[in-house]
Structure 1
Amino acid sequence: MKEVRRKEFYLFSPFLRIFHWIMVAMILVLFGTGIIIATPLQSMNLEPAYSTTYIDLVRDIHFVAAFVFCASFVLRIYGFIINRGDRLFPRFWKGYFYAQTVDVIKHYMLVQPNHQSFLRNPLARMSYLMLYGLVAVEICTGFAMYYMTEPESYVARAFAWVNVVCGNEMVTHLVHHYVAWGIILFAIGHLYMVIRSEFMEGESEVSSMFSGSKFLVHYPADAGDVDPDAEKP
């Protein structure tokens, strides 16, 4: 038998891991309730006393999940502040970033059998940055619509300008709806890629979101982003 030695790299703080899973759960709740709100279920087969209130219940669940999601997102940002491994964003100002990106793309296109070892590869970094942008749009448009139903809410009032920028509430609703689909499509692709990396490339993508550590055979090219004093052996 061949012995394989792996080096442990502590990457993700408890803030990222805990609130990552809370946000995953809230995204599922938000998407499910959002679909019902956008296209209410046929109520003719429901009891009259229930059919007039079920959509209100769905909206309440949607609102509660939205507030939990936003709170988790804020606390996750705190994790970015205290832990380097939580903020592995694209380094567009570094020339090697683009060469590494091409290297990863070639591997995913099956042009080459593997790519350099990374704690978080360049394509993943860019995709997460895009996700945070989508989340920001979703939060802004969501609170803008909430303002229309709860104009006395101080939190929602801070996002009233979004309806002005979009032109009207209907456009705000459409942006919110399509961005939600974008997040779900990202989640599907993300799930595929992390499972692929976990089992085909042994990059501890799934397990690291529970343990906080990655166990790699090869020394990662971006180790210095987590530990500036790291020296390649």
Structure 2
Amino acid sequence: MIEAKKIYIFSPGLRLWHWVNFLTIMVLFFTGLYIGNPFFLGPTGVEATYAYREGLTMDFIRKVHFIAGYILLASFLFRIIIAVFNKRDRLVFPAVWKKDYWTSLKEITLKYAFIMRDTEGHEYIRNACARTVYPIVYFMIFFMIATGFAMYGMSKPGSFWSSLFGWLLGFLGGEFMVHMWHHWIAWLIIIFAVLHVYFVIREEAIKKNGELSSMFSGYKVFEREPVDIKDVEE
């Protein structure tokens, strides 16, 4: 009988960041959709004539969007800070030049395709798929912050944000293209979020390893010692 091993992976700071990030991105996504295409739902919804009285103005939605944008920026900076001071919070990039990376990628692909059993192969705290995708997601979040504040700076010429990110307007082909890139990357982040939820539920359902509860408790259960255990050891 295999003895399960409980390992502490996620620090309180990382768990706090995860949930703040999740809620902020949801607010940004839905308010962003409304800003891009204002609508009033159904025949019994609030008509545009009475929207101001009900507080459902574009000005209000934009304020919520901008506040969430500042929270996302603060959250992103917080993520960098905790990565500096806590080893287990560091972002681990894929070592594509190593054989272990390709072994992990092959195993996780076969498991996700239900060709290999989850009890077979090696155990990983962060498999090759996670090591590849998460840096891309962090980059996309930074891209959304940069392009968002570049557009925000357009309403405040000469401001800090205009000076810091205004160059993106020309680099990406003008205001319209910045809007479009902001829109496209937002959808990529949401697609990632949906897939992330699916894989978390899948892991919990098949392996019952605490994948769902780990972002509350910080602990996950492994049947064998993970190959990359050193990444979370202090």
Please give the TM-score of this superposition, normalised by the length of structure 1.
0.89
1:104 counterpart = 2:102 = no
Residue aligning to 1:32: 30
1:69 counterpart = 2:72 = yes
Per-residue deviation at 1:217? Answer: 2.0
Per-residue deviation at 1:178? Answer: 0.7
Report 1:75-114 matches (<5 A).
75-87=78-90, 88-114=92-118
The one-letter code of the counterpart of 2:205 is F
Residue aligning to 2:43: none
Sequence identity (%): 36
Answer whether contact 2:156 2:162 (CA < 8 A) is retained: yes
Per-residue deviation at 1:215? Answer: 2.0
Residue aligning to 2:10: 12
Residue aligning to 2:223: 217
Measured in 2, the distance between the counterparts of 1:158 and 1:116 equals 45
1:177-223 Cα offsets, whole Å, 9 max, x none, are: 01000100100000010111122123322211111222222111111
Q: What SS does the corresponding residue of 1:47 show, helix, strand or coil?
A: helix
Structure 1: which 4+ aligned runs deviate by more than 6 Å?
none
Structure with the bigger RCO (C-alpha within 8 Å, sep 6+) is: 2
Q: Between 156-165 and 106-115, report the one with greater CA deviation.
A: 106-115
Measured in 2, the distance between the counterparts of 1:107 and 1:216 equals 16
Q: What SS does the corresponding residue of 1:158 show, helix, strand or coil?
A: helix
Q: Between 27-36 and 194-203, report the one with greater CA deviation.
A: 194-203
The one-letter code of the counterpart of 2:105 is T
Answer whether contact 1:204 1:216 (CA < 8 A) is retained: no
Per-residue deviation at 1:175? Answer: 0.1
Pairs aligned (count) = 226
Measured in 1, the distance between the counterparts of 2:62 and 2:230 equals 46
Residue aligning to 1:118: 124
Residue aligning to 2:142: 136
Unaligned 5+ runs, structure 1: 229-233
Answer whether contact 1:117 1:218 (CA < 8 A) is retained: yes
Answer whether contact 1:13 1:79 (CA < 8 A) is retained: no
Per-residue deviation at 1:45? Answer: 4.7
Measured in 1, the distance between the counterparts of 2:231 and 2:26 equals 32
1:87-136 Cα offsets, whole Å, 9 max, x none, are: 23322232211111111111112221224211121112211111112112
Measured in 1, the distance between the counterparts of 2:216 and 2:159 equals 37
Measured in 1, the distance between the counterparts of 2:53 and 2:200 equals 42
Per-residue deviation at 1:154? Answer: 1.0
Per-residue deviation at 1:167? Answer: 1.6
Please give the TM-score of this superposition, normalised by the length of structure 2.
0.89
Report 1:189-200 matches (<5 A).
189-200=195-206
